[in-house]
Amino acid sequence: MGYLGEEMVYKFISGLTRDNCKDYDFIRWKGTAASYTIDVKTKERTVPPLDKYSVHINEFGNHQQCDTYVFVSIREIKGSGGEFEGWIIGWMDKDEYWDKARIVKKGDVEEKDGFAEYEDSRKMYFKDLNHY
């Protein structure tokens, strides 16, 4: 799914150079004073996106040396025989994300989601991201 998410972002955002290191996937406007790095965060889902859904980055993800996150959701189209559809949900600069995102602990259950958190993370709802 990660590869599909990266391909969507590559087609949608101009000026990208693939870099695919451990810290980020792309450099936008490489070689210019305005360049910055992007890490694509892709999640497979079974339903189309809604504002009440969230993005998560595990606590250990803060080590990544990127400037910006772009969040993508992908799902397999039922009965299609392997076709997928996806959405670029939004973006946020790394520092802003880590400042604004809620800290959730493994096992926590939030009312809006109803699901137990699978690990310690930083979480933000789709509606709170920057949108294109």
Number of domains in the chain: 1
**Residue 80 scores a pLDDT above 80:** yes
Give residue-wise pLDDT tens across range 33-64.
Answer: 999 999 999 999 999 998 889 999 999 888 89
Burial 91-121 (b: 16+ CB within 10 A, else e): bbebeebbeebeebeeeeeeeeeeeebeeeb
pLDDT of residue 89: 97
What CATH number is associated with residue 93? 3.40.1350
**Residue 66 scores a pLDDT above 90:** yes
Q: What is the DSSP string of 49-100?
A: --TT-EEEEEGGGGG---SEEEEEEEEEPTTSSS-EEEEEEEEEEHHHHHHH
Cβ 24 vs Cβ 39: under 8 Å: yes
**Residue 113 scores a pLDDT above 80:** no
- Domain limits for position 117: 2-128
Provide φ and ψ at 26, rounded to 5°: -140, 155
- Give me the chain's average pLDDT, please: 93
Task: Name the band, by pLDDT with cuts 50, 70 and 90, for residue 82.
Answer: confident
**Which strands, in side-by-side order, build the sheet including 68-76?**
16-18, 26-28, 36-44, 68-76, 84-93
